[in-house]
Each structure stands twice: as structure tokens, then as C-alpha cells.
Amino acid sequence: MTNPKLPAPYMDDLARLRAVLDSAVDGIVTIDDRGHIEAVNPATERLFGYSASELIGRNVSMLMPSPDREQHDQYLANYLHTGERKIIGIGREVSGMRKDGSTFPLYLAVSEVSFGYRRVFTGFLHDLTQLRQAEEELRQRDTQLRFMIEHLPAAAAYVNAVTKTVRFNPVVERITGFKAQELATLDDCFTKLFRRRAVGLRKRYESDKAAWLEQPLRLPIQRRDGEVRVVEFRGYRYDDHEVWLVNDVTERDRQETELRIRNQAIQASNEGVVIADAARSGCPIVFVNRAFETLTGFQADEAIGRGFELLCGHQSETQAAEQFKLAIAEHSEFRSTVRCFRKDGTAFWNEISVAPVRAACGTVTHLVAVMEDVTERRRAQQQLLQSERLAAIGQMVTGLAHESRNALQRAQACIDMLSLDLEDSPEQLELTGKVRRALDDLHRYYEEVRNYAAPINLQRRSTNVARLWQDTWRTLESSRRDRNFQLIEVPGDCSTICDVDEHRLEQVFRNVMENALAACPDPGQLTVSWQSTTIDNQEALRISFHDNGPGFELVAAENAFQPFFTTKQKGTGLGMAIVKRIVEAHGGHISISDRDTNERPGAEIVIVLPRHA
């Protein structure tokens, strides 16, 4: 017999029920009172990997791992016999076993339905795999986070902005001296750590969280034992949660304060101070004080980043400068007086002391140089030395003056008489002529020494200095008669009128020009140029004599104005020393210009004279 056809409404309800079961996300399994599967939905097939045909009619225990598989039928029999529920109507977490033998966590809820004499049980199966994975990841993350916080070298605090509760890691306890439970709330933290400042800081925190959290905030706190420490707070906020990182910076704060004090002292010092990074190639400068800027003309932003050799300015090839460069390369101590150059090219004598700064491991990290302009001191020392020399020469010249002059006169008279007797002997006359010239040289040398030792008394008057060097050049016509040598004037945009002693200044020009004539090959030229300048805040005239000769060698340039120094085979070596005395007596100065030989070869003598006495 066939079942009578169900009415249409029942057929529709059955279709809707089937559609619901088929579309359910969770697995649904129906079994009879013997545990045999009567129906499964598609979700169950996906969950366990079986098809419906493989499941229907078989014992539901096939979906369970041991020991539940072996004991399931007994569980069911016990329930049917005693009515004691363990899963039915309650639900609990169990394990399921897929077709491939793998197990996974399930949440199982079982309902019971009776149809007359039959009992049917329906199980609702929810896969907990992803939930358990998420819970495990969360647990591991929480464990890792807790481990990180507990073992952070810095203090960390978690703040619940809703409940106003705080949790600290152990470092906070070491910094503050308080136990975590003593700082369990925000009120505890502010009251116990900031004491009298608690109210004001709490208001500041509540009113401006952005300023409190986003920027590092350095505040003094008071430990449980009363000691004051400086701590730095840095906060991070997410929704209603805050994390504070708290770092004890007491020692750093003290060192920074000391550093500021030292920096102020260094800036106030009259000596130039320069610090260079020895760990980097070329030892770049990382700090200069204001005295360095005044001393060298280089501003801090021009000096920082440049090599430590900037202290010597342009390349100064003196022995001391070479030793200084070697000390930089070897990171060793150095102390000497070096002829250096400012930004504008002017030279000065620089007393430099360099000391290395070492790290705890012994490595040199920085070089510190202290600089002092000792030009005036050196000039005074040289003047004192010169005075002593002059005094010695003066005493010698005073003692020898009378006898030497008389001896020269007697020798000259004897030569004159001898010449009369030898008129008929040309060869003998030639010899007497040589003796006479030797006596003249000796007389000239004597006069040079006497002039150098004698005091300089100037007879100043307003003079066209250009006329003086032009007249001096004309007096040397006999010396350049057989030479291709010319004087070139490059007019400046200023007057050449100065208050000078004409006779003395002619001596200066004559000596400079004679040296140029002696040094330059043919064709030779001496270029004279002039311009306005200042000396000791007074108007002055700067005169440059530049020839096309070989120029000065280093030793000659450094000693040209020293008494008795000469590169000539003949002469006393007092010519340029006398020139220097005359120029300085006028209140001016004379120097050998330092220039790049590739730019403009030759020697350049620069004379600066004040315009007014």
C-alpha cells in the first residue's frame, strides 16, 4: 500500500523544514533509541567528511573518538533505563572524529522527541575548531604580552580609563618602592607619587590627555622612602585603555644638567673650544663655542661637519701644523703654537691643545681642542727678544764704534797712499782696488748694524707715498740698466697720502725693490697695487709689491724679518729686519702674503701704513 498523499499545506511545511535543515550552518543528526542514524543535514556531511548514504543506518558512535565510541551505547541504555540526563537538554563540549580519523572540538546539544512508542534524538553539532584556535592564539598572545611586560627593562603600567584601575610590572615597584597593590588606582598613583603636586597634575592629566600621553613628560616623583627621583612618562591610548612607559631618568637628568652648565661655561670661555667626532672619517667638528667663532671668523654652522684641520685654516705647512695633523690622524695628545689662518685669510698664532676623549672600553670617541690667540703675546715676546738683541748689539756697537771707525779710516788712508806709489803698476793697483772695495763693504756692514741698533726717530709729514716709491725706483736705474725689468702700477680707488718719514720709508721701498731685482729673472716685473684698509680701527693704506720671481720658500717666509737671517751669499741679513722696524715705528705692519702658488706665482710683500700719525 502506498501512503495516502499528504495535504498540500503539510507538503509545503515539510519542504520549508527540509530547506531550513539543509541550509543550517551547524550539523544536525537524528538517531533512534538504539543509536542508529536516521537523518543528517548537509552541514553534517561537510563537518565529518561522510556522505549521507555512508551515515544513515549506522551507529552514531562512528562519529566519536575513543573512549566515547565504545561507551556511547551504554550511555544511551543508561538514560533509557534511568532517565538520568547528562547531555540531553543540557549540552556540553565533546570531541568529534572525521572520516579521515582526525578529531576536533564540538559543542553538542541533544533534544528528545517521542512519536507514540518511538523515541527520536536530535543532535545539534557546532564546530568549535576556529573558536578554540582563536582562544589559543589569544591565550598565547596574552602569555607573551604578560611575559614582555613582566620582563621589560622599563617600567610599564596598564590603565583602565573607565574603572580608573592600574596594573604595574615589577620595574615600577623597584622605581617607586611601592607594591603594585598600593598603586592599584589612579588616585593612589597621583596621591602617593606626586604628593603635594597630585591635585594639579591630576587636573592636568584629566583635562589634556593628548599632552600628557603623546609627548614624553619628565616629572619628579617621591618614592615610598621619601627619595625624589625624576621619571619620564610616555603614554599610549586605545579606546578606554592606556599604557604608560615609565623610565627613571634621574641620572640622565643630572648629567644633562651638568652638561648644560659645562656648555654655558664653555660658551663663556675666552678660549676657543672645538669638539670633533673621532669615530668618523676626517674627524668632523660637532661643536664650537662662541670664542672659536670670534677667533677664526667661522660661524658654528660653517664649522660643524668640516674636518678638524679647519683649526689650521688654509693649509699651513709649518712643522707644528704637520705635527697637529699627525696628532689628529693618530688621536693623540698635542700641544703647540701653530700659525693658522682665519676665514678672511689673515694669519694669527694659535696655541692649540688637543686631548682625546675615551669611552669606558678605551676607544677614542672624540677630540677636544682648546685654542688661544697668542699673536700679541708672541709679538711681545719677539719684541722683547729683539730688544735684548738690540741691547746686545748696541753695547757691542758702542764698544767697537770708535776703534772700528778709526781702524777703517787708517786702512783707507794707507790704501790711498799705497795707490800713489803703485801708479806705474796696473796689476798692483787692481789689488789695492779690491782691498778698497772690501773696506767699503765692511763699512757698509758696520753702518747696517749701527742703523739697526740705533733708535728710530721719525720726522713725519703728509706725503704722497706713491711718489716715494716712484722716486726710489728711479734711483735704482743703474742697478737695472742691463735688465729687462719694469715697474707696473695698478691704481687703487683711494689716495696714497699718509703721514710718514720720507727718508725712512724710502729705505723700506729701496730694500723691497732691491730684493725683487735680485730674485727675478729677465724679463722681470714688480707690480705695485694699493687700496684702503684699517689698522687698529684707524684708516690705513695697504700697499702690495708683487714680483714674478720664484717666491719665498717656507723657511724664508717664516724668518724673512728675523735679524741676521739671509738667503744671499753676501750681506748681514738685517735689511728686512730694519724694514720691519721702520714700518712698525710708523704704527703699521709688514708681512709676506700667503697665497696659492698655482694661482699667482712670485713673492708678495704687503705693507699697511696708518694714514695719520
Stretch 157-180: mean pLDDT: 87
> Is the CA virtual torsion 147, 148, 150, 156 positive or negative?
negative
CA distances, 87 to each of 76, 124, 176, 490 (Å): 10, 11, 54, 118
CA separation, residue 440 to residues 344, 416, 437, 510, 514 (Å): 47, 13, 5, 19, 19
Q: What average pLDDT does the segment 420-441 reach?
A: 72
Query: Do 289 and 298 contact (CB within 8 A), yes or no?
Result: no
Pairing of strands 347-358, 364-373: antiparallel
Number of helices (H), then strands (E), in the chain: 19, 22
* pTM confidence score: 0.40
Residue in the structure block whose three cell numbers are 689673515: 346
Q: Show the 3-state SS of 231-246.
A: EEEEEEEECCEEEEEE
Q: DSSP letter at 226?
A: S
More confident residue, 457 or 173: 173
- Is the pLDDT at 530 greater than 90, yes or no? yes
Beta bridge partners of 284: 307
CA–CA separation, 138 vs 145, rounded Å? Answer: 10
The CB-side HSE value for 87 (13 A sphere, CA atoms) comes to: 21
Q: What is the pLDDT of residue 541?
A: 94
- pLDDT tens by residue, 114-144: 776 778 888 889 999 888 888 888 888 777 6
pLDDT at 45: 92
Among 236-250, 354-368, 510-524, 585-599, the least confident range: 585-599
Altogether, the residues listed in the chain come to a count of 613
Cβ(354)–Cβ(333) below 8 Å: yes
Q: What CA–CA distance (Å, rounded) separates 549 from 525?
A: 9
Of 320 and 118, the structure prediction assigns the larger pLDDT to 118
- At residue 178, what are phi and psi to the nearest 5 degrees? -95, 145
